[in-house]
Chain A
Amino acid sequence: AQKITQTQPGMFVQEKEAVTLDCTYDTSDPSYGLFWYKQPSSGEMIFLIYQGSYDQQNATEGRYSLNFQKARKSANLVISASQLGDSAMYFCAMFRSGNTPLVFGKGTRLSVIA
């Protein structure tokens, strides 16, 4: 069975600083994908970044990058130059290959301080 673990229920970061949100996963499937979603207080789920298990390079999307360490089964999200608008819940999720449903972690609440 697949499992996602996010060990940080809450994180604080100073505006303009970088922050790393931890995510570890457990799966026996050789092919899988990892996602990060952001959920602001308004409630919508916003896709941020994706990493495939066979991707050679770490994914990057603007200020978001994914520190993918396959041997350690970790897929940490790095947000550079934090902004006040980054304050939100962040969910790590994974799926097996194919059109399978996502398995989510419990989420990390990030608060950016001015």
Chain B
Amino acid sequence: EAGVTQFPSHSVIEKGQTVTLRCDPISGHDNLYWYRRVMGKEIKFLLHFVKESKQDESGMPNNRFLAERTGGTYSTLKVQPAELEDSGVYFCASSTSGSQPQHFGDGTRLSIL
């Protein structure tokens, strides 16, 4: 069984540019989560999809972040325009139900210059 895959693994862009991160969850996992870890701080929740619907987006920092999950399969997280404080590692995780462990991808390391 393939795990959660994230693309790209690294992205370096300039302030003001746009970046799109992609997450492919484990097949059959309805729940998909995005998290972010800024250097030296805790891993913070961004949002949660159940299939194609946004269940909880209370962690999204501002309207420069847009997440979609087309057809309840893969998800994208777009940052437009990127700011310096958006730098960090963005993790995607998926699970079958809340009592099951969330399986994480390897993360996308985003650097804004």
Contact = CB atoms under 8 A, between A and B. Distances in A.
A107 B42 CA distance: 8
B34 to A, nearest CB: 9
A106 B41 contact: yes
B45 A99 contact: no
Interface string B25-63: 000000101010000011111001010000110010000
Interface in B83-107: 89, 91, 93, 95, 97-99, 101-107
Interface residues of B, number: 28
Contact of B50 (A35, A37, A91, A99): A99
Nearest to A50: B101
Contacts of B69: none
A97 B98 CA distance: 7
Given A43-B109, A44-B105, A101-B33, 14 more contacts: A44-B106, A47-B103, A52-B99, A95-B98, A97-B98, A98-B98, A101-B35, A101-B48, A101-B59, A102-B43, A102-B45, A102-B102, A105-B42, A106-B42
